[in-house]
A and B are shown apart, each in its own frame.
Chain A
């Protein structure tokens, strides 16, 4: 199955209390690919995430990892949210090894590995700090290190930088790009920031809501490594124009419906 897709989502539909949340979502990620999902809030992005991570059983459809069906099973992918969810009583090192602590108990080797990861990605001076003593950007780095330490090669990142100021966010995006480049991770990334999606991804899937489905995908063929200069190229602007067009075209027609379905 080495040549098949790393992660495949096939015909996923999900209905909550009679209300369809997702409708026939298909998505494939090749090994080492970075794919972003953009869409308005409430379009079912997070539901899709919870299905891929195994937290929710879809009404129909399958999730395949390396060709193996893992629908409804947890423990296969790394998962990170906008909230860093660091445990306040554990130090940076302690938080990075949380996955091991929760499954089999931590060893000195786990901590050593965590310290290596931390040092390599700019947290070397903070190994013994408690989370409350760190800035928001730092905390998100720790959260990503914790996700990486799980040794899952597929990561689901749900608006991980959504709570950061734009300066820090750009720093974190470039940092994430360098981490991905290093570790050849397969990443599914959710955001509502079109710039972020294009800057990071190989492919951007535009989702529309109620029920959530993928309206279109845009291939991002900007050369890597990408830097700040990438953000101002003509190619970038053209991709952004297309993405925004796709995002806002359905919004004009479905806006009244969206209001009508407010709880």
Chain B
């Protein structure tokens, strides 16, 4: 009976989510009707979707390219961000030294540094990865650092009274405490990562991706294709977010479950 109740809850949630997205498309159509907009000004979402479907043979490889940049850059940014946060929390002077630089890095307009990066690193994958990672690492650093700073002092004291080794204290208490904030950072990063990939492609386009396609469609005033690709890019962002959320549910079971998946049977 409990299983069935849980399925009903999920159906309700999915239904509401779908209704929310449907509402956006409904409003979109409504705007077109009310203002009598021509398809070359604002195409309907249906025609934007069909622009993707009809052209999938070409768009498929481009999508793959952009997804690859997004994922690789995301992983790079996440790893760099996490390691930075841990190092900064372990060595206070390092934190004081590089925190201002990190904040400054995010104040730099990403579009402005894209071109110099390409000049510096060439037209390959690297500048694109760096741009995506640049966007992703920041929320990861900030959240993980926050998580490490907010560990209860009394818990650390308790560990000391228990005679804890420093390394074990780090592995058993500090590291697991970073998981929840890490995923908060990753979820923000996942939605922004696609934007990074598109900006990267706009400046360094030796390899065709959705960003370069968007650029071409834009200059040829192919409004339908522009909206179609935008929808596709949005979908990639949403799916990335959902994927991270799925991994989170698996990696931090204590947040959603009342009992452990791995049962200890004496």
Residues of A that sit less than 8 Å from B by CB? 50, 53-55, 74-75, 77, 79, 81, 83, 85, 87-89, 91, 93-94, 98-99, 101-103, 105, 111-112, 115-116, 119, 127-133, 150
Contacts and interface: CB of A to CB of B under 8 A. Distances in A.
B260 A128 contact: yes
A132 B260 CA distance: 12
Contacts of A89: 176, 179, 252, 254
Given A83-B152, A85-B152, A91 B259 contact: yes
Nearest to B159: A102
Given A102-B165, A129-B258, 17 more contacts: A50-B157, A53-B161, A55-B160, A81-B154, A85-B158, A98-B162, A99-B162, A102-B162, A102-B164, A102-B173, A103-B168, A116-B266, A127-B263, A127-B264, A129-B260, A130-B259, A131-B254
Nearest to B266: A115
B182 to A, nearest CB: 13
A55 B162 contact: no
A87 B161 contact: no
Contacts of B207: none
Interface residues of B, number: 29
B266 A150 contact: no
Given A128-B260, A130-B260, A74 B168 contact: no
Contacts of B157: 50, 55
Nearest to B253: A130
A112 B158 CA distance: 23
Contacts of A99: 162-163
Given A85-B154, A128-B260, A133-B259, A103 B176 contact: no
Contact of A150 (B162, B169, B262): B162
Contacts of B173: 87, 102
B155 interface: yes
Interface of B: 152, 154-155, 157-165, 168-169, 172-173, 176, 179, 252-254, 257-260, 262-264, 266
B158 A101 contact: no
Contact of A101 (B155, B172, B257, B259): B172
Nearest to A93: B264
Nearest to B157: A55
A98 B154 CA distance: 15
Contact of A79 (B161, B176, B260): B161
A157 to B, nearest CB: 13
18 contacts: A74-B161, A74-B162, A75-B162, A81-B154, A81-B158, A87-B173, A88-B254, A91-B264, A102-B162, A102-B164, A102-B165, A102-B173, A111-B266, A129-B259, A130-B254, A130-B257, A132-B254, A150-B162
A91 B158 contact: no
A128 B263 CA distance: 6
Q: Closest 6 CB pairs between A and B?
A: A75-B163, A133-B258, A102-B164, A115-B266, A130-B254, A79-B161
Contacts of A133: 258-259
Given A87-B155, A130-B258, A102 B264 contact: no
Nearest to A118: B266
Given A83-B154, A87-B155, A91-B259, A127 B266 contact: yes
A150 B164 CA distance: 12
Contact of B164 (A50, A55, A91, A103): A103
Nearest to B168: A102
B228 to A, nearest CB: 43
A132 B165 CA distance: 27
